[in-house]
Amino acid sequence: MTKLTKIVYFLLFVALVLQPHFTDHLWFVPKPYVESILTVIIVGIAVLVYYLHQRELLKSKKLQEALRISQEKLLDSFKYLGTVNRLLPLFQKLSSGLMTASKYSKRDKKNIFNNLLATAVVSIAKADWGLFRFIEIKSQRTIKEFVCANKNQVVLNRRVVNTELISSRGQQSKIKTVGEFSIIPTSDREMTVQCFLVFPQAKNSSNDELSTVQAIVDQAQLFYKYLFA
């Protein structure tokens, strides 16, 4: 309760207590009726003050909640930018090389995607293995696939079916799941061939890490467009 509200309540209480001593009959209205009318007015003012005070409190709570959410989003943004900044040298190196080179060998192209895949899987997702699969959406056919795995690591216990990968895009969560696999598809929904990152189910990945992995998948989609499309 604010200081002003307390003062108003105090003044209304004093008026309620003292008003019988200062009221008199009003024209033809007897004194008891005048006192009752004044009491109703004072109580009505008190109720109105209470209502206005509660409304201000509600606005204040909503404002504080909105401020808290904004601060959390801002903090998440800073965390995300910090994570992405650590990867900028890789992105800049690959991007600048892609734009300046006139021709890439098959090995060069493979190295580009292997570097992106290793960064996403090993450095960020901290998984034992992962793969980029480029699928032609209309025919559901695999066009390209790049695999990254630790030595002696069995990559797939069962084959990841393309129809399952394509269907996973309908899931609302940021990171999709198909059986024991985690899936992050490209944000691009226009290309006829689209990239899917597949790796073991992520258990302790933070939102900023997943956002960074999403950026890498989108980068892979962009590179595919320039190198193969």
- Residue 222 near residue 193 (C-beta atoms within 8 A): no
Among 20, 50, 66, the domain-final residue is 66
Provide the domain limits for residue 42. 3-66
- Residue 210 near residue 175 (C-beta atoms within 8 A): yes
The answer to the question of residue 222 being in a domain is yes
Helix, strand or coil, per DSSP, at residue 143 = strand
Return per-residue pLDDT of the chain as tens, 229 residues: 667 777 777 777 777 776 666 666 555 667 676 677 777 887 888 888 888 877 777 777 776 776 677 667 656 655 655 555 555 555 555 555 555 555 678 888 888 888 888 888 876 777 888 899 999 999 999 999 998 876 555 555 557 899 999 999 888 887 898 888 889 999 888 889 999 999 887 666 666 677 778 888 988 998 888 888 6
Which alpha helices (DSSP H) does the chain contain, by range? 3-22, 31-100, 106-118, 162-168, 207-227
Same domain flag for 187 and 118 = yes
The answer to the question of residue 74 being in a domain is no
Same domain flag for 50 and 123 = no
Residue for token pair 């990867």 = 87
CATH number of the domain that residue 204 is part of: 3.30.450.40
The answer to the question of residue 137 being in a domain is yes
Same domain flag for 49 and 134 = no
- Residue 165 near residue 142 (C-beta atoms within 8 A): no
Greatest extent of the chain over all pairs of C-alpha atoms, in Å: 108
Interstrand relation of 141-149 and 129-136 (parallel, antiparallel or unpaired): antiparallel
Among 66, 90, 118, the domain-final residue is 66
Same domain flag for 23 and 109 = no
Number of domains in the chain: 2
- Judged on CB neighbours under 10 Å (0-12, 13-18, 19+), 166 is middle
9: nearest Cα among 43, 41, 40: 43
Residues 6+ apart with CB under 8 A from 94: 112, 115, 116, 219, 223
The answer to the question of residue 78 being in a domain is no
CA distance 9 to 64: 26
CA distance 33 to 144: 92
- Residue 149 near residue 178 (C-beta atoms within 8 A): no
**Phi, psi of 26, deg, nearest 5:** -115, 110
- Residue 202 near residue 182 (C-beta atoms within 8 A): yes
- Judged on CB neighbours under 10 Å (0-12, 13-18, 19+), 146 is buried
Predicted pLDDT of residue 137: 94
